[in-house]
């Protein structure tokens, strides 16, 4: 039936048609002498997105979940202590992975809706005078709660504690969307995936490692092959890969990088902030609240709390079944309590207004008492006041 | 830059991804024995859209403008009298074509905003006792003013006058969208194009002719080759075409027909009506008026009149430049006076709400005094009350 | 079933994937202020392909057949005398069109397999001291017989006769493939289509007119609207079109022009010559003959004569049904006598060798006595000797 | 420049246009209630390709290399003994992975050009009365040497030895191309990837496990997360995935399965055999030899040995640089000694003849003394004699 699905989940995000068309091409010989002309510039340009000059970028034919594992298994060894703060489903999953891999995980619970508590972390790091903590695992943007942690602050806390631990950042739903500065913030592993800010289908783990992290490759004792970083490095240095890459995905990434870098990363961040802020104005106009506490609001996804007597799953189901809108659900602890609107990727004002208007219908259909049009009105005011084109 | 254009013109309309993908394929031999397996079912299925069992459908590698010319030059001869009512830019252009081709055009002016005046037409046809009028040219949906004429009423007027003239209907922006019944309404030539209700790019004139019209092919004295109907018939009967067709467009049309017929024509009409009515509710909420007078409102496009001290071109320019929304402009007499929102083709509730919200921004930016969110609120109420999914 | 069709007809030709991907994009507003940024450079760059600096290029949403009609009806009037030499199905069809349109057609028969007889033409033009002949219609490349006429020679004959007639050239299967020089050869109308050297689907008539031809627009008395050149000129001068264009086809043409101009027109000609010559070496090795007489061999299509006791349609049917190869058939007078291999468009050595090898199978299956591999061997020798990469 | 690349490597293979178009679509919510309607039938239909009714199929967003690792780490534990025969680069790499993962690898060298020595294996298994060998790792089709091992024979050897080891088969370049019968041959893990017989881009590890293998998941002690089979099972049972899948790849796989199953697996095998045999006839006609010893010839890839005084890399370079043909190179021990022609995936007779003819040019250019056309002639004879269409 005519009428497209409107995709407002925080990933996979909408793909620009230029990206999809760039991926639609015949297969190629990945061992041809021309292949490095594709791969090498991609790896260089990725550094501009990660904002690192000293680090090195990598692309694996896998997903962000694999990215987490790559960071852990290529630099650490079973039994190594890692510090992680859990404040949502994705920080939980990363922690869980670390445990399953046999790391010694020191996990601190944080209220879902807040990000990493910087003072707390600084204090904990100062206590660790023996430097037993080998790595800090920080979730930059917790997709489940719509919370952004202050990674610059994490670095400051580590510096204040003079702690030498590696800093690994899950930037799956932040990199290429939110302000992210690998070198400036002293990040040792930056982990992302193709299906968020890069606006591609899932299927690539996109990473960058600092020289400090790369120096750990030889000592890391986890068994690994498919996700081995040294194999990638050995092949990448000549412009090749250790096993067959997805050439369409690389062409798509090329197109994505062209779009991002032409817009300019600062503009990309500003666009995401503006789209998010309009959404937040709508939420306030509805009389609802974000899951994110003040100061932690994410510019890539808003998790919106429904009234206590309502189930957010109904909102999502009505949006999907009646209006062909895909919203993000609440995961784990916040299941049924929140629904999520992604404002990440190939979006602009009218995309967001469609989401907001559509959500108004679903909220009303669920008997949630909002003033029809109020969210749209609030977002309109904001977008009009801040539009630059 | 990321963020797509939002296309709300009344054509070309948005193409479903299934249609675009169906068109993306290697070239084919149009003289292969397999080609008729593509063409013949398309021509049969088109009859279900035109709603004719006795007529014959045709596809030319051209546009709706060519469709007008095909109807005139294959059935009439220079000097033949035709009757036409002008009530917008497209009825004007068709009339103008008839004049340029050397037909004897009897044109009646109708206020832009209204459709064919049925009583007037009936009276005029009754006067024509000598049956000098060979054809009535009726614009079903005047895209420029958002006006739909009552073709069933035209047929009744012709029958009441017992007039044998051919009835030619410009259904470019109505067929495959608005209620259209070729056999029931006694239409002799139905003219459409690919880029409206068929949701394809421009490039196909899509037509159907009654047996009565086809009986005129031999007597028609206009010189014609590319647009000759008999050449098409001679080739079509074996499943071929008289010159090279666009096979991708035919595959796209196949996909489009599959979508339309799966939804069912009655459902297609109902969907367009519902989307249009929501838009009209928004217009009313804004305190604005349609160009269309009551009873003539089109379900495929709304032409909205701006206040007298405003220029609708500013609304369109602001919508495009600031918010990447494409609206239809006012043409000819209504230039600067109206802007147009298409609600035709691959659209659904959220698509329309995006349009309405986006237009609100552009209206406000132009200093047009509307209540922000009011149009969206009115549309939301209507869509919620009428949604069936 | 897996295994693609191998398309070796002389049009539609194979489309490069870059062209197909460029066509796969959302619909656009053809009245947007950005549309001229697409159309204007295309019209300028087309002049580089037509090789005219003083002429003007046009693109109609139609086909090459329409192109013939555009040239005739926009510059001539009913009853005007035109001179045409018939030496194949396409020169026949153009002549037939001229007759049907009511022109006074002076047709000279030429043996199928030869091109325009220059001495004969010069003599005839010299006889026409009253200059009754208003236009010479010359088929540059007769697709049906694989014959290329000497257009430079036609110009010389006209000059030698000091004849002021317009020179119209059907370059549908030559432009963008064979050496073609509009200005140098004094051509007044150049007619092509999208589905040959431009490597696109059918759906665009691509033309160029000299200033001398354009000066005739006002005096031309044929009724015309869809194919009216002045309407195009009036819209094109601002970068727009008189009715809805196919934006995907324009994007495809943009991609095609980029490919052609990057290769360079002289290289494009040389490539076609080389591919054709290899095919001809194969034909000779098989002991078969071209339909084209020596000196008239086309570099875009070879029409190959089968032994008198064989039917070329069997060759074509076996090639298609057994090996999924699409070959061109013999048309009209040469039906059953020839089959055709296109070497036009997106082709290279291995493409041609596949065609030659495949044809060998079909020939053998039809009991035509050739030495298996002989054609391929001859082509290989030639390609190896002349490859430049 | 016009003229496409001709891809004859053994993977990635050529993708049918239906597969590429199926992958070109907007992103989707992988948590939508409609997602299982896509995934579940794929997993069911995959079993028809693996030819298992009792096993379970899996799809990971990774590659065949990951597939090897999935099999090893989900069923075995560090220190477990595995038996592997090395007879090419891919069996080498799998063995090497097993070593790196910390398995106790018992490797037997086999001459490159031969497959697994069944008698030898049977004898070895009989010796292992303590059943220390936990798994046999068998490479079905060694892509590097063009050798196919007899997996049915491996099963017979294991049965003859009454050995309970798991049987893991690398079918990356055999499954969906060569005769493969998981249930009948008692295979416990079948490992494939998307870019070979499935005719997709790389990016999916496609696997099937027997119930016997699945019973080992709980006891397997390798740390694993991204490649964990239980996580997949837990999500798959409801039609979902444990992390974001590539929906375009799943749609492509859907299209691929439709093509394969419509053709029928037996026909798929027969087609590959026929294409391969034609290639082998050409090799013989050239006076060259396969790397594969008699009885071990692969129907998906032929590795062809160049004369001792020549370097196969020159053949490959000339083919690529002069004629835009991509051939497979010799890897590791056979580098410079062989070049490879893939006859796997979306290929048919003319595809292969293009390859053979193109290779003839490259061989001659390298001064290798073959009779031009001889390979093509031999292949033509064979294809003509065996064509069924």
Alpha carbons D298 and D282: distance in angstroms, whole number: 15
List, for residues A218-246, the tens digit of each pLDDT value: 999 999 999 999 999 999 999 999 999 99
Same domain, A285 and A206: no
CA angle C106, C112, C114 (to 5 degrees): 90
Nearest chain D alpha carbon to B23: D21
Residue of C195, C236, C63, C251 whose CA lies nearest to B203: C63
Same domain, B136 and B236: yes
Does the distance separating the beta carbons of B26 and D21 come in below 8 Å?
Answer: no
Assess: ipTM above 0.90.
yes
Task: Read off φ and ψ for residue C282, nearest 5 degrees.
Answer: -65, -45
**DSSP secondary structure code for residue D110 in this structure:** -
Do the domain assignments include residue B1?
Answer: no
**Residue owning tokens 């445990």:** A99
Does the distance separating the beta carbons of D351 and C358 come in below 8 Å?
Answer: no
Size of interface A-D (CB pairs under 8 A): 172
Average pLDDT over residues D138-158: 98
Q: Domain count of chain A? A: 2
Nearest chain B alpha carbon to D18: B25
Residue A286's pLDDT is 98
> In whole angstroms, how far apart are CA A197 and each of A283, A347, B28, C246?
23, 11, 39, 32
> In whole angstroms, how far apart are CA C373 and each of B75, C324, C379?
56, 19, 10
Indicate if the pLDDT at residue C355 is higher than 80. Answer: yes
Distance from CA of C26 to the nearest CA of D (A): 12
Residue B138's pLDDT is 98
Same domain, D126 and D271: no
Average pLDDT over residues B258-269: 98
Indicate if the pLDDT at residue A100 is higher than 80. Answer: yes
What percent of chain D has a predicted confidence (pLDDT) above 70?
A: 100
Residue C305's pLDDT is 98
Residue of D379, D286, D358, D342 whose CA lies nearest to C361: D379
Residue of C203, C214, C200, C269 whose CA lies nearest to C64: C203
Say if residue B156 is exposed, middle or buried (CB neighbours under 10 Å; 0-12, 13-18, 19+): middle
Average pLDDT over residues A59-76: 98
E strand or H helix that includes residue B86: strand B81-86
Indicate if the pLDDT at residue A195 is higher than 80. Answer: yes
Alpha carbons A4 and D26: distance in angstroms, whole number: 9
Residue B385's pLDDT is 98
Residue of A385, A62, A82, A105 whose CA lies nearest to A232: A62
Does the distance separating the beta carbons of D100 and A223 come in below 8 Å?
Answer: yes
- Cβ distance C31 to B313 under 8 Å? no
Do the domain assignments include residue D96?
Answer: yes
Give the end of a domain, one of B262, B290, B325: B262
Residue A206's pLDDT is 98
Indicate if the pLDDT at residue D2 is higher than 90. Answer: no
Say if residue D40 is exposed, middle or buried (CB neighbours under 10 Å; 0-12, 13-18, 19+): middle
**CATH number of the domain encompassing residue D141:** 3.40.640.10
Do the domain assignments include residue D146?
Answer: yes
List, for residues A265-293, the tens digit of each pLDDT value: 999 999 999 999 999 999 999 999 999 99
Residue A237's pLDDT is 97
Same domain, A330 and A294: yes
Does the distance separating the beta carbons of D24 and B24 come in below 8 Å?
Answer: yes
Query: What's the domain range around B119?
Result: 17-262
Distance from CA of B236 to the nearest CA of A (A): 29
**For residue C12, is the peptide bond before it cis, meaning its omega torsion is within 30 degrees of 0?**
yes
Establish whether C340 is an annotated binding residue: yes
Same domain, A44 and A170: yes
Same domain, B272 and B301: yes
Residue D17's pLDDT is 97
What percent of chain A has a predicted confidence (pLDDT) above 90?
A: 99
Same domain, C184 and C216: yes
Do the domain assignments include residue B376?
Answer: yes
Residue of A191, A182, A231, A236 whose CA lies nearest to A211: A182
Q: What is the 3-state secondary structure (H, E, C) of A77-93?
A: CCCCEEEEEECCHHHHH
Show the DSSP H helices in chain A as ranges: 17-23, 35-50, 64-75, 89-101, 118-127, 151-160, 211-214, 229-236, 247-263, 265-286, 312-323, 349-365, 374-386
Say if residue C31 is exposed, middle or buried (CB neighbours under 10 Å; 0-12, 13-18, 19+): middle
Average pLDDT over residues D251-267: 98
Indicate if the pLDDT at residue A389 is higher than 90. Answer: no
What percent of chain C has a predicted confidence (pLDDT) above 70?
A: 100
Do the domain assignments include residue A140?
Answer: yes
Distance of CA A344 to the CA centre of its chain: 9
Indicate if the pLDDT at residue A50 is higher than 80. Answer: yes
Confidence of residue B388 (pLDDT cuts 50, 70, 90): confident
SS3 of A358, please?
helix
Say if residue B237 is exposed, middle or buried (CB neighbours under 10 Å; 0-12, 13-18, 19+): exposed
Same domain, D174 and D64: yes
To test the contact with chain A by mutation, choose from D172, D223, D230 the residue with the greatest count of A C-beta atoms within 10 A, namely: D223
Residue A388's pLDDT is 87
Give the end of a domain, one of D247, D262, D277: D262
Alpha carbons B376 and B381: distance in angstroms, whole number: 9
Same domain, A239 and A355: no
Residues 6+ apart with CB under 8 A from C353: C278, C376, C379, C380, C383, D353, D354, D357, D358, D376
Do the domain assignments include residue C47?
Answer: yes
Distance of CA D167 to the CA centre of its chain: 16
Residue D20's pLDDT is 98
Same domain, D146 and D234: yes
Does the distance separating the beta carbons of A65 and D62 come in below 8 Å?
Answer: no
What percent of chain B has a predicted confidence (pLDDT) above 70?
A: 100
> In whole angstroms, how far apart are CA A190 and each of A88, A101, A207, A296, C1?
19, 19, 5, 20, 44
- Per CB-CB distance under 8 Å, the chain A contacts of B268 are 2
Chains that touch C (3 or more CB pairs under 8 A): A, B, D
Average pLDDT over residues A341-365: 97
Residue B326's pLDDT is 98
Confidence of residue B1 (pLDDT cuts 50, 70, 90): confident
Buried b (16+ CB within 10 A) or exposed e, B163-188: bebbbbbbbbbbbbbbbbebeebbbb
Residue D1's pLDDT is 72
Alpha carbons B380 and B359: distance in angstroms, whole number: 15
Going by their DSSP bridges, the two strands A56-60 and A205-209 should be labelled as antiparallel
Indicate if the pLDDT at residue D26 is higher than 90. Answer: yes
Query: What's the mean per-residue pLDDT of chain C?
Result: 97
Alpha carbons D85 and D154: distance in angstroms, whole number: 11
SS3 of A243, please?
coil
CB-nearest partner of D25 from B17, B25, B26: B17
Alpha carbons C351 and C45: distance in angstroms, whole number: 28
- Per CB-CB distance under 8 Å, the chain B contacts of A268 are 2
Chains that touch A (3 or more CB pairs under 8 A): B, C, D
Average pLDDT over residues C300-304: 98
Residue A212's pLDDT is 98
Alpha carbons D58 and D67: distance in angstroms, whole number: 10
Distance from CA of D260 to the nearest CA of C (A): 7
- Cβ distance C190 to C175 under 8 Å? yes
E strand or H helix that includes residue A206: strand A205-209
- Cβ distance B356 to B364 under 8 Å? no
- Cβ distance A283 to A375 under 8 Å? yes
Give the end of a domain, one of B213, B240, B262: B262
- Per CB-CB distance under 8 Å, the chain B contacts of A351 are 3-4, 6, 354
Do the domain assignments include residue A345?
Answer: yes
Does the distance separating the beta carbons of A17 and C21 come in below 8 Å?
Answer: no
**DSSP secondary structure code for residue A12 in this structure:** S
Alpha carbons C215 and C220: distance in angstroms, whole number: 10
List, for residues B187-221, the tens digit of each pLDDT value: 999 999 999 999 999 999 999 999 999 999 999 99
Does the distance separating the beta carbons of A25 and C25 come in below 8 Å?
Answer: no
The β-bridge partners of A329 are A339
Average pLDDT over residues C22-35: 98
Alpha carbons B133 and B81: distance in angstroms, whole number: 5
List, for residues D156-204, the tens digit of each pLDDT value: 999 999 999 999 999 999 999 999 999 999 999 999 999 999 999 999 9
Residue A178's pLDDT is 98
Indicate if the pLDDT at residue C389 is higher than 80. Answer: no
Does the distance separating the beta carbons of B21 and D24 come in below 8 Å?
Answer: yes
Distance of CA D72 to the CA centre of its chain: 17
Nearest chain C alpha carbon to B100: C223
Residue D37's pLDDT is 98
Task: Read off φ and ψ for residue A298, nearest 5 degrees.
Answer: -85, 140
Do the domain assignments include residue D1?
Answer: no
Alpha carbons B127 and D362: distance in angstroms, whole number: 84
SS3 of A156, please?
helix
Residue C1's pLDDT is 72
- Cβ distance D151 to D298 under 8 Å? no
Same domain, B272 and B375: yes
What percent of chain B has a predicted confidence (pLDDT) above 90?
A: 99
Indicate if the pLDDT at residue B258 is higher than 80. Answer: yes
CB-nearest partner of B25 from D21, D25, D26: D21
Token digits of residue B281:
């509710």
The β-bridge partners of D266 are none
**CATH number of the domain encompassing residue A287:** 3.90.1150.10
The β-bridge partners of A58 are A207
List, for residues C185-197, the tens digit of each pLDDT value: 999 999 999 999 9
List, for residues B135-190, the tens digit of each pLDDT value: 999 999 999 999 999 999 999 999 999 999 999 999 999 999 999 999 999 999 99
Helix, strand, coil percentages for chain A (3-state, nearest 5): 40, 15, 40
Average pLDDT over residues B76-86: 98
Average pLDDT over residues A192-215: 98
Average pLDDT over residues C290-295: 98
Confidence of residue A2 (pLDDT cuts 50, 70, 90): confident
The pTM assigned to this predicted structure is: 0.98
- Cβ distance B276 to B173 under 8 Å? no
Same domain, C254 and C224: yes
Enumerate long-range contacts of B284-288, CB under 8 Å, 24 or more apart. Answer: B284/B378, B285/B371, B285/B374, B285/B375, B285/B377, B285/B378, B286/B360, B286/B363, B286/B370, B286/B371, B286/B374, B286/B375, B287/B369, B287/B370, B288/B368, B288/B370
Residue A1's pLDDT is 72
Residues 6+ apart with CB under 8 A from A97: A65, A68, A69, A72, D225
């Amino acid at each position: 039936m005519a009428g497209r699905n409107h995709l407002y989940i925080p990933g996979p995000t909408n793909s620009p048609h230029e990206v999809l068309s760039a991926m639609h091409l015949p297969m190629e010989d990945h061992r041809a002498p021309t292949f490095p002309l594709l791969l090498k510039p991609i790896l260089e340009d990725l550094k501009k997105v990660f904002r690192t000059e000293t680090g090195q970028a990598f692309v694996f034919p896998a997903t962000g979940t694999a990215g987490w594992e790559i960071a852990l298994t290529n630099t650490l060894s079973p039994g190594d202590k890692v510090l992680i703060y859990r404040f949502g489903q994705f920080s939980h999953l990363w922690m869980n992975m670390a445990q399953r891999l046999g790391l010694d995980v020191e996990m601190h619970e944080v209220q879902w809706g807040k990000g990493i508590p910087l003072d707390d972390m600084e204090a904990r790091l100062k206590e660790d005078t023996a430097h037993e903590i080998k790595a800090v695992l920080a979730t930059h943007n917790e997709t489940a709660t719509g919370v952004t942690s202050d990674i610059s602050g994490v670095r400051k806390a580590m510096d204040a504690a003079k702690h030498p631990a590696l800093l690994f950042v899950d930037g799956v739903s932040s990199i290429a969307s939110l302000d992210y500065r690998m070198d400036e913030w002293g990040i040792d592993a930056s982990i992302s995936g193709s299906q968020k800010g890069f606006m591609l289908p899932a299927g690539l783990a996109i990473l960058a490692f600092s020289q400090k992290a790369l120096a750990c490759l030889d000592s890391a004792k986890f068994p690994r092959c498919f996700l081995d970083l040294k194999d990638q490095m050995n092949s990448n240095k000549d412009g090749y890969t250790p096993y067959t890459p997805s050439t369409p995905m690389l062409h798509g990434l090329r197109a994505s990088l062209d779009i991002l870098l032409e817009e300019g990363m600062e503009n990309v961040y500003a666009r995401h902030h503006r789209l998010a802020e309009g959404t937040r104005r709508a939420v306030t106009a509805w009389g609802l609240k974000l899951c994110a506490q003040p100061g932690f609001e994410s510019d890539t996804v808003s998790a919106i709390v429904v009234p206590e007597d309502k189930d957010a799953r109904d909102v999502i189901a009505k949006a999907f079944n009646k209006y062909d809108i895909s919203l993000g659900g609440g995961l784990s602890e916040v299941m049924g309590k929140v629904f999520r609107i992604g404002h990440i990727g190939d979006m602009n004002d009218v995309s967001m207004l469609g989401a907001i208007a559509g959500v108004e219908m679903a909220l009303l259909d669920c008997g949630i008492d909002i003033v029809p049009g109020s969210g749209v009105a609030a977002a309109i005011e904001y977008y009009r006041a801040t539009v630059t084109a």
